[in-house]
Amino acid sequence: MKAKRIFQIVAAVTIMGGNITGTASVLESEEAFSRLLPIPQKVMVGEGRFRIEKSFAVKVSGQPDDRLYGAASRFLRRLDQRTGLFLPQDYVEKGETLESVGLEISVKRPGEVKLGEDETYFLSVEAGIVRLSAETDLGAMHGLETLLQLLSADEQGYYFPVSRIEDSPRFPWRGLMIDSARHFMPLDLIKRNLDGMAAVKMNVMHWHLTEDQGFRAEIKSFPKLHEMGSDGMYYTQDEMREIVAYAADRGIRVYPEFDVPGHATAWLVGHPELASLPGPYEIERGWGIFDPTLDPTKERVYEVLEAVFTEMAAIFPDEYFHIGGDENEGHHWDQAEHIQAFMKERGIADNHELQSFFNKRLLTILEKLDKKMVGWDEILQPTMPTNIMIHSWRGRDSMEAAAKQGYASILSNGYYIDLMQPASEHYLVDPLPSDIDLDEEERARVYGGEATMWSEHVTLETVDSRIWPRTAAIAERLWSDASIRDVEDMYRRLDTIALQLEELGLTHIKNRDMMMRRLAGGYDIEALRVLADVVEPLKIYRRNADLSYRSFSPYTLLPDVAVADAKDARRFRALVDAYLETGHAADKAAVESMLNVWRTNHASFARLADRSPALREALPLSEALRDLATLGLAAMGGESPDAAPVLERAREPVAKVELQVVDGVERLLEK
């Protein structure tokens, strides 16, 4: 394992001054380089250490945007909070006179928070000083995050290892979509996730603001939209401005999505006259694809949309604007006589063409507002002009097709983090794989991608644990060189970044214990933890196949405590690998030790469930784990028990989760 890890890093590293012979030992002694995420384009490792002393201070020179002073001050605080040095500099300020400088940042010009801005940075750690230089403050802020990741310690204290890093992103569009519509996401939650994005060098937040389940943006000209469509849970215009400013301070663009003409029930609660069929309408409480649809034949619809877009254009300065456009099945259009008549009259052949008609009207509005239209795959219709951008969610084919036809595009297919797939799945999805059939010009139209946090099955308690750390793997895919694809190495670094992200207030780790304490009714959670660490929530769309979940369902149970990469399942796989490869007694003992914990856990879990009825539905799962472990131990002891019924039962989903250690045990049986 060790040799492999070093090899992995050497791939992206050269030694300063060409002293190649020292590579392995320098890398071994400087673990910091093997923790970087995303991996920079070029790392040159030197020898020596910059010591971080109590007198460490930061000086900024050049012409950055003011945001850099705030970013440098935050950097200082995070450094101080980790090291406990009591650094005396309160704020990094313009034109400060400093007695000594530890980090000198120089920036040529203010960065513009817009697509394609220069994000390059150069970081040089010498034994006496750290220098960070960049064309824009956006690049410099990325460099600050890299520098924090380099923080190391030895017997003398904290230091940064001597090195030079040259870095810039592979894709200019590295996004996270947050769905604030299905479950409302409070302001502080959005902010801490923006901080998390900045930490892994992401630069776009796509804000999904309307859905069947909620209209979340204050619209002053048509206040019934948010007043009647949100259960009182919406963002005021001041609050949206606050988020835009907070993001811009971190070099992150924010652009809104107003999903039309489908996914629009919440619009219709206050304005049933916009609907294709007569109302009344109520806020949708279930999950799925629903029929209520805006009526493309009514001028009133365009009047309201223009008002909404105009108000929002004033709040979101970004040049892109997302109109959704997905999953409109057109049932209400089919049922509305006046719409059928309208289509006939104008020679509109089908619902696809009708939606294009609708989209073109929207395009006119957006162009007046100087906005570029973005929509999901479905808006790509032959009659649409190529100045719109396609957001690919249904498959990479549509992205390729779009690029060939002259459309810009971003990828989200493969980055649906709500589907609870492991980080490895997302990590290997590349918007521009080496075998893609696109020429240079077409490739340039693929701007990047977005992780999409659809929020049916997340709440403010769990959403961070669905976004992080997996989104960091996607961030690396979009930032680092295409050749960086070692899954095991990514997981190792993900474990580190997951801990660092906590300092930004993210709750992906800490909320889990809290939720287990509630679930255990105040009793000791250890037996629950053992179980939760080997299960994952049902993946893809299986969790709600029985339609048991609605907006206010208790998302506080075992599947909500479980995460997409079950910690002990991952560990077990690695141990089984090692044991099967080496046959060593120590590896065998490690596997047996895990199996023994699982074998004996059920008794404790059953006692806990006795006192905490909310856990009882998981009893069969705990039993299945016990039986599976017993089976594995028997196999390792040389017995040949009847495995099939146990394995079958262990593969059965229970309580909306499934065991992730069945394959490992099966491999032990096959040995």
- Give the catalytic positions in this structure: 327
- Tokens of residue 597, six digits: 């914990």
Which region among 372-380, 387-395, 496-504, 645-653 touches its own copies (by CB under 8 A)?
496-504
Shortest CA distance to 465 belongs to which of 513, 432, 405? 513
Q: How far is 12 from 5, CA to CA, in rounded Å?
A: 12
Minimum CB–partner distance for residue 502 and its own copies (Å): 5
C-alpha to C-alpha distances, 22 to 10, 159, 165, 565, nearest whole angstrom? 11, 20, 18, 36
Strands (E), 397-550: 408-411, 446-453, 535-537
Pairing mode, if any, of strands 214-215 and 210-211? antiparallel
Minimum CB–partner distance for residue 244 and its own copies (Å): 16
Which of 510, 584, 607, 671 binds its own copies (CB under 8 A)? It is 510
Q: How far is 323 from 361, CA to CA, in rounded Å?
A: 12
Which region among 264-272, 399-407, 517-525, 583-591 touches its own copies (by CB under 8 A)?
517-525
Shortest CA distance to 533 belongs to which of 507, 570, 495, 488? 570
Q: Does 584 bind its own copies (CB under 8 A)?
A: no
Q: Which is nearer to its own copies, 446 or 504 (CB)?
A: 504
Minimum CB–partner distance for residue 567 and its own copies (Å): 14
Which of 47, 311, 353, 502 binds its own copies (CB under 8 A)? It is 502
Q: Does 521 bind its own copies (CB under 8 A)?
A: yes
Q: Does 652 bind its own copies (CB under 8 A)?
A: no
Which of 17, 48, 128, 157 binds its own copies (CB under 8 A)? It is 157
Which region among 17-25, 480-488, 497-505, 582-590 touches its own copies (by CB under 8 A)?
497-505
Q: Are 153 and 34 in contact (CB under 8 A)?
A: no
Q: Which residue has the tokens 């069947």?
A: 212
Site for its own copies in 342-371 (CB under 8 A): none
Which of 424, 496, 544, 596 binds its own copies (CB under 8 A)? It is 496
Coil, strand or helix: which one is 411? strand
- By CB under 8 A, how many residues form the interface with its own copies? 54
Q: Does 28 bind its own copies (CB under 8 A)?
A: no
Q: Does 524 bind its own copies (CB under 8 A)?
A: no
Q: Which is nearer to its own copies, 80 or 327 (CB)?
A: 80
Q: Which residue has the tokens 């440098």?
A: 72
Binding characters for its own copies, 178-197, by CB under 8 A (x = yes) = --------xxx---------
Q: Does 77 bind its own copies (CB under 8 A)?
A: yes
Alpha helices in 187-260 (DSSP H): 187-199, 224-229, 237-249
Cα angle 200, 462, 254 (rounded to 5 degrees) comes to: 45
Residues forming a β-bridge with 62: 107
Coil, strand or helix: which one is 549? coil
Which of 612, 641, 651, 667 binds its own copies (CB under 8 A)? It is 612
C-alpha to C-alpha distances, 460 to 37, 182, 226, 465, nearest whole angstrom? 26, 12, 20, 10
C-alpha to C-alpha distances, 436 to 439, 449, 450, nearest whole angstrom? 9, 16, 19
Q: Does 53 bind its own copies (CB under 8 A)?
A: no
Q: Which is nearer to its own copies, 350 or 495 (CB)?
A: 495
Which region among 5-13, 77-85, 313-321, 382-390 touches its own copies (by CB under 8 A)?
77-85
Q: Does 84 bind its own copies (CB under 8 A)?
A: yes
CB atoms within 10 A of CB 589: 11
Q: Which is nearer to its own copies, 277 or 509 (CB)?
A: 509
Minimum CB–partner distance for residue 566 and its own copies (Å): 19
Minimum CB–partner distance for residue 517 and its own copies (Å): 5
Q: How far is 438 from 404, CA to CA, in rounded Å?
A: 7
Q: Does 237 bind its own copies (CB under 8 A)?
A: no
Which region among 176-184, 193-201, 519-527, 645-653 touches its own copies (by CB under 8 A)?
519-527
Which region among 108-116, 231-239, 268-276, 384-392 touches its own copies (by CB under 8 A)?
231-239
Site for its own copies in 396-425 (CB under 8 A): none
Which region among 112-120, 250-258, 400-408, 545-553 touches its own copies (by CB under 8 A)?
545-553
Q: Which is nearer to its own copies, 400 or 489 (CB)?
A: 489
Q: How many CA atoms lie within 13 A of 133 on its CB side?
A: 6
Q: Are 141 and 198 in contact (CB under 8 A)?
A: yes
Q: Which is nearer to its own copies, 108 or 517 (CB)?
A: 517
Site for its own copies in 459-478 (CB under 8 A): 460
- Tokens of residue 40, six digits: 């920079």
Provide the total of helices (H) and of strands (E) in the chain, helices listed first: 26, 20
Coil, strand or helix: which one is 45? strand
- Using N-to-C axis directions, what is the helix angle for 662-670 and 644-651, rounded to 10°? 160
Q: Does 93 bind its own copies (CB under 8 A)?
A: no
The 8-class DSSP code of residue 377 comes to: G
Q: Does 29 bind its own copies (CB under 8 A)?
A: no
CB atoms within 10 A of CB 236: 13
Coil, strand or helix: which one is 166? strand
Which region among 120-128, 472-480, 492-500, 659-667 touches its own copies (by CB under 8 A)?
492-500
Q: Does 553 bind its own copies (CB under 8 A)?
A: yes
Minimum CB–partner distance for residue 372 and its own copies (Å): 32
Q: How far is 560 from 553, CA to CA, in rounded Å?
A: 12
Which region among 86-94, 261-269, 443-451, 633-641 touches its own copies (by CB under 8 A)?
86-94
Coil, strand or helix: which one is 294? strand
Minimum CB–partner distance for residue 510 and its own copies (Å): 4
Minimum CB–partner distance for residue 661 and its own copies (Å): 23
- Tokens of residue 406, six digits: 């002259």
Q: How far is 89 from 303, CA to CA, in rounded Å?
A: 53
Q: Which residue has the tokens 């017993």?
A: 630
CB atoms within 10 A of CB 443: 12
Minimum CB–partner distance for residue 81 and its own copies (Å): 4
Q: How far is 143 from 159, CA to CA, in rounded Å?
A: 16
Which of 517, 567, 571, 649 binds its own copies (CB under 8 A)? It is 517
Which of 314, 514, 540, 603 binds its own copies (CB under 8 A)? It is 514
Binding characters for its own copies, 554-583, by CB under 8 A (x = yes) = xxxx--------------------------
Which of 99, 238, 299, 345 binds its own copies (CB under 8 A)? It is 238
Gyration radius (Cα) of the chain, Å: 27
By CB under 8 A, name the binding residues for its own copies: 77, 80-86, 90-91, 153, 155, 157-158, 186-188, 231, 236, 238, 285, 460, 496, 499-500, 502-503, 505, 507, 509-511, 513-514, 517-519, 521-522, 548, 550-557, 610-614, 617
